[in-house]
Amino acid sequence: MSGKPRLTYCNGRGRMEPVRWLLAAAGVEFEEVFLETREQYEKLIKDGVLMFQQVPLVEIDGMKMVQTRAILSYIAGKYNLYGKDLKERALIDMYVEGITDLMQMILVFPFSPPEAKEKNLDSIKDRAINRYFPAFEKVLKHGQDFLVGNKFSWADVQLIEAILAVEEKIPAVLSGFPQLQAFKVRMSNMPTIKKFLQPGSPRKPPPDECYIETVLKIFKK
């Protein structure tokens, strides 16, 4: 073992992408193992590696971690991205949960039947513009650069990931949110995030038909 965290998932975004984002933002290099067949997945289950028979799987510090939320909170704590006290951690958790609700809509969108895509895209736009982005715009209006304690945290990483993911589908989504526009520029210019946004980084592209077919082949019984 090289000592680097080892991530096992499909070669696409899915539930592993926030883990990639958080490790990259913390400046941590990692290795990836890509699942390409149902047999690979079944072997992990047979070997007892997946506690709940689910990926993502992250091997870190001698642990084989599953469940995205647990993985992310461990990484955030380990790399000092989880606030200075219990109250700050509570705020980070609250913001992350809200962002995750929005990201869940984006996560399942590529798997929508063709006839539902327009309606689902409208739902993403409505939730982003009328529920989630106004909440974070208000937080940032207090004159701080970051969401919690005016210090870079897990919540900031999740928010910039969400902003960019929504913009891929709705390019003008930030037009009414000047604080979020400025936040996006700040975050995108942070050295570790700037590096992650460059071509050739471990960041995955939006899901395409090949990725969708692979996911369905591996996980759909």
Over the stretch 178-217, which tens digit does the pLDDT of each residue have? 999 999 999 999 999 999 999 999 999 999 999 999 999 9
Tokens at 128, concatenated:
């982003």
pLDDT in tens, 4-15: 999 999 999 999
**CB-based contact 192:27 (threshold 8 Å):** yes
Give 22-38 pLDDT, tens digit per residue: 999 999 999 999 999 99
Q: How confident is the model at residue 220 (pLDDT cuts 50, 70, 90)?
A: confident
Closest CA to 21 of 79, 65, 61: 79
Provide the pLDDT for residue 221: 66
pLDDT confidence band for 142 (50 / 70 / 90): confident
Q: With beta carbons less than 8 A apart as the criterion, state whether 9 and 56 touch.
A: yes
Nearest Cα neighbor of 101 from 76, 135, 74 is: 135
* Rounded Cα distance, 70 and 34, in Å: 21
Give the chain's domains with CATH numbers.
6-79+197-219 (3.40.30.10), 86-189 (1.20.1050.10)
Give the per-residue pLDDT at 1. 45
For 87-120, b where at least 16 C-beta lie within 10 A, e where not — what string? ebbebbbebbebbbebbebbbebbeeeeeeeeeb
State the chain's mean pLDDT as an integer.
Answer: 95
Examine the pLDDT at 173 and tell me if it is beyond 90.
yes
At position 63, the amino acid (one-letter code) is M
